[in-house]
Amino acid sequence: MSKERDIARIEELRIEINYHNQLYYQKNEAEISDYEYDALVRELKELEEKYPEAAKCSSPSVRVGSDLTGRFPEYRHGLPMLSIDNTYNQNEIHEFYRRMGKMAGREEIACVCEHKIDGVSMSLVYEDGNLTHASTRGDGETGEDVLPNVLTIPSVPRQISLSGKAEIRGEVFITLTDFKEINEKRRLQGEEPFANPRNLAAGTLKLLDQELARQRQLSFFAYGKGAWEAESPDGQWEFLSLLADLNFSVNPHIRLCMTKEEVWSYCVHWQSERNSLDYVIDGIVIKVDSFALQEKAGRTMKSPRWVIAYKFPAEQARTRIKDIVVQVGRTGVLTPVAEMDPVALAGTSVRRATLHNEDEIKRKDIRIGDTVLVEKGGDIIPKIISVVVDERTGTEQPFSMPSFCPACKSPVQRLPGEAAHRCVNMACPAQVRGRLENFVSKGAFDMDFVGSGLIEVLVAKGMVKHFSDLFHLDYTALSEMEGLGEKSVHNIKRSIEKSRRISLDSFLYALGIPFVGKKGGRLLSARYRSLDRLLEASEEELQEIDGIGEKTAMSLVSFFENTENREEIRRLRDEVIIIYDEESGEGPFSNKSFVITGTLKTMTRHEAEEIIRKGGGELSSAVSRKTAALIVGASPGSKLEKAEKMNIPLWSEEVFLKAAGELKKGEA
């Protein structure tokens, strides 16, 4: 039984780690600390080593977390951008030194120590001195080219005196001064402040609005190299001098250390002095100086062996909970937040801490009036670690979640097996912006020129409160806004007008119903082929659909029973034409799975997916043995190499359209 439990635990860990990877890399959120995350990965590695038959090359223990969103062109790195192994104590640093020294044939080696800034990794690509690409890490092999937003960063040179192709790696971040200024403006405008500088920097790089990106005041420090065709120095320290000569901003606190004692001294110094900096650091990166030794050390699938990161322990302090209030997030989730007596922590005065959900409060037995231990790592909003039970006086009050939404007074829902309480009213003012971003996204209404920046402006100015308001925009007022010219407004209007025809599955996905994603929308559309029939479906009837579980069925019924939601659906039906599927039958792609890589010339990926689905097939995100063909567009990513190794058929866009036969793009 022990082996069975361990194998089951491996799968549990993979699911949990992938979940946290998605939160961190794609949603720019985090529910657990780096230490807790690393503990999960360490446990998974140990179990996989114990049971090698259970190992998978797709396991998060050997793969880099991915920040790919599909909203930007893909860029394949000349050299992989990998993650860095973490350590939390001096002994592991000494062990790293021992391994590198043994490989070098001497006891002491030179290492370069630098601040581990809590920002976003970036690779700048220069071709004959001109900046041509700026790519995120992505999945390590392929990133997303966010050059337009990177061009708004003053510290990134547009041209450098260097021939050939060069990838210059560095960190994009927001200074604490700029972060506080941005949040202060949001508070004055009645908007929720951003959680921390790292999330804001990551979100800014993925904006489709350059002007808004420019206002966010991103900064950049260069620290390394990827693919490199020009003559290179012999080591990291000299390379940093070269970067400075090329007019890159290089962190002034980087130091060349000749012994492990000097390295540890550097770590200890900045652990105590990190709050004196104008940016957030959560540790120290230690790199072998010699490029030759770096090459000899090599790398694993996930991390280079010649670098290690010492992570600082999170700072802690004691304070008292004065009250617990409830905030409504953009997805409708109600989050309890502790309001506390002010306490100095990590260089700031802390007054609030997120409590996540009711289960977390009950598990820690947190009450109003309790003395608690709070911890703060890189986040601006800290978390409560534990209650100081010995200091209870008997006056402390237990907390329970409200039955009605604090923002719109609609009933609150908690589904079986779900930790979160939710407001399912799509018109809830606290949720408008987040729901709108989903509503206009690809796979939903696909309003390609209505980005998050524009939505932020429309909501702030009160021009959009409901989904249907997008179809009644005042384009004259829009054209008078700063940064929006006649051409931009024309593109916005065109993208909204073309979205007035939409398939039922895309319409359902656009509504943002909890637990109903793209696949769920397709399952419901295939079963009912009528919105009216779906609106009257019971929980029992919905659960009869293969792939629709109890939580999803309850969520659907609750959503459609909400009076405000019904009214908004009615308004939307006055504006758009919902296209219903005919009976599904045999087609050219029946029971076949396809994958797309690169940029298609004549259609979007969503349109290609519709063609495949109409032909009886499905679009997958990953190449596997069951992939019928890889459809290859311009600038293909790492999927092409994988497909070639697996002898998967490669289709051009023209071959794909020919195979579709009578299924024309317009009909789909």
> Which residues contact residue 127 at a Cβ distance below 8 angstroms, ignoring those fewer than 6 apart?
164, 165
pLDDT of residue 589: 84
Write the DSSP assignment of 254-312 as a string of letters.
-EEESSHHHHHHHHHHHHHHGGGSSS-EEEEEEEESBHHHHHHH-B-SS-BTTEEEEEP
- pLDDT band with cut points at 50, 70 and 90 for residue 464: very high
Residue 636 and residue 647: Cα distance in Å, rounded?
16
Task: Look at 536 and 580; give whichever has higher pLDDT.
Answer: 536
Query: Average pLDDT in the 636-660 region?
Result: 87
Helix (H, G, I), strand (E, B) or coil at 631: strand
pLDDT of residue 43: 81
Asked if pLDDT for residue 55 goes beyond 70, the answer is no
pLDDT of residue 31: 58
Query: Average pLDDT in the 357-385 region?
Result: 85
> What is the number of other CB atoms lying within 10 angstroms of the CB of residue 184?
11
Distances (CA, A) of 393 to 171, 370, 389, 448: 48, 9, 9, 58
Nearest to 214 by CA among 155, 170, 150, 120: 150
Asked if pLDDT for residue 667 goes beyond 50, the answer is no
Asked if pLDDT for residue 593 goes beyond 90, the answer is no
pLDDT of residue 374: 92
Asked if pLDDT for residue 584 goes beyond 60, the answer is no
Could you tell me whether strands 618-619 and 593-597 are parallel, antiparallel, or unpaired per DSSP bridges?
A: parallel
Residue 523 and residue 332: Cα distance in Å, rounded?
24
pTM of the predicted model as reported, rounded to 2 decimal places:
0.55
Residue 586 and residue 162: Cα distance in Å, rounded?
57
Of 165-174, 184-193, 279-288, give the lowest mean pLDDT range. 184-193
Could you tell me whether strands 333-345 and 281-288 are parallel, antiparallel, or unpaired per DSSP bridges?
A: unpaired
The percent of residues in the chain predicted with pLDDT above 70, rounded, is 90
Beta partners for 287?
A: 112, 307
Buried b (16+ CB within 10 A) or exposed e, 375-414: bbbbbbebbbeebeeeeeeeebeebebeeebebbebebbe
Task: Look at 50 and 258; give whichever has higher pLDDT.
Answer: 258
Residue 559 and residue 425: Cα distance in Å, rounded?
7
Cross-sheet strand order for the sheet of 307-311: 86-87, 307-311, 281-288, 111-117, 255-257
Helix (H, G, I), strand (E, B) or coil at 115: strand
> What is the number of other CB atoms lying within 10 angstroms of the CB of residue 644?
12
Asked if pLDDT for residue 65 goes beyond 80, the answer is no
Question: What letter does residue 167 receive in the DSSP assignment?
Answer: E
Asked if pLDDT for residue 328 goes beyond 90, the answer is no
Give me 428's structure tokens.
Answer: 């809830």
Say if residues 147 and 133 touch (Cβ distance below 8 Å).
Answer: yes
Domains in the chain, start-ordered, CATH in brackets? 2-54 (1.10.287.610), 74-311 (3.30.470.30), 316-391 (2.40.50.140), 412-579 (1.10.150.20), 593-660 (3.40.50.10190)
Write the DSSP assignment of 124-138 as a string of letters.
EEEETTEEEEEEE-T
- pLDDT band with cut points at 50, 70 and 90 for residue 340: very high
Asked if pLDDT for residue 67 goes beyond 60, the answer is no
Nearest to 321 by CA among 286, 351, 364: 351
Give me 448's structure tokens.
Answer: 């390609």
* Terminal-to-terminal C-alpha distance of the chain: 51
Asked if pLDDT for residue 345 goes beyond 90, the answer is no
pLDDT tens digit string along 414-458? 877 778 898 988 778 878 887 898 899 888 999 988 887 788 788
Nearest to 516 by CA among 552, 554, 565, 562: 552
Task: Look at 166 and 381; give whichever has higher pLDDT.
Answer: 166
Say if residues 372 and 320 touch (Cβ distance below 8 Å).
Answer: yes
| Residue 105: burial class (beta carbons within 10 Å; 0-12, 13-18, 19+) | exposed
Q: Which residues are catalytic?
A: 116
Fill in the amino acid letter for 594.
F
Query: Average pLDDT in the 279-308 region?
Result: 92
Residue 89 and residue 438: Cα distance in Å, rounded?
43
Residue 553 and residue 533: Cα distance in Å, rounded?
14
Asked if pLDDT for residue 583 goes beyond 50, the answer is no
> Which residues contact residue 174 at a Cβ distance below 8 angstroms, ignoring those fewer than 6 apart?
119, 182, 197, 200, 201, 204, 216, 217, 218, 219, 279
Give me 9's structure tokens.
Answer: 């635990």
Residue 30 and residue 282: Cα distance in Å, rounded?
15
To the nearest whole number, what is the mean pLDDT of the chain?
85
Give me 594's structure tokens.
Answer: 């396809």
Handedness of CA 220, 225, 230, 231 (dihedral sign): positive
Most confident of 45-49, 72-76, 614-618: 72-76
pLDDT of residue 61: 64
532: left (phi over 0), alpha (psi -120 to 50) or beta: alpha
- pLDDT band with cut points at 50, 70 and 90 for residue 479: confident
- pLDDT band with cut points at 50, 70 and 90 for residue 665: very low
Give me 422's structure tokens.
Answer: 């939710």
Could you tell me whether strands 383-387 and 412-413 are parallel, antiparallel, or unpaired per DSSP bridges?
A: unpaired
Asked if pLDDT for residue 207 goes beyond 70, the answer is yes
pLDDT tens digit string along 140-175? 888 889 998 999 999 999 999 998 999 999 999 999
pLDDT of residue 98: 92
Asked if pLDDT for residue 387 goes beyond 90, the answer is yes
Say if residues 502 and 516 touch (Cβ distance below 8 Å).
Answer: no
pLDDT tens digit string along 467-476? 999 999 999 8
Give me 11's structure tokens.
Answer: 């799968």
- pLDDT band with cut points at 50, 70 and 90 for residue 70: low
pLDDT tens digit string along 4-40? 777 777 877 777 777 777 666 555 555 566 666 777 7
Buried b (16+ CB within 10 A) or exposed e, 50-60: eeeeeeeeebb
pLDDT of residue 14: 79
Most confident of 374-388, 558-572, 604-618: 558-572
Task: Look at 400 and 481; give whichever has higher pLDDT.
Answer: 400
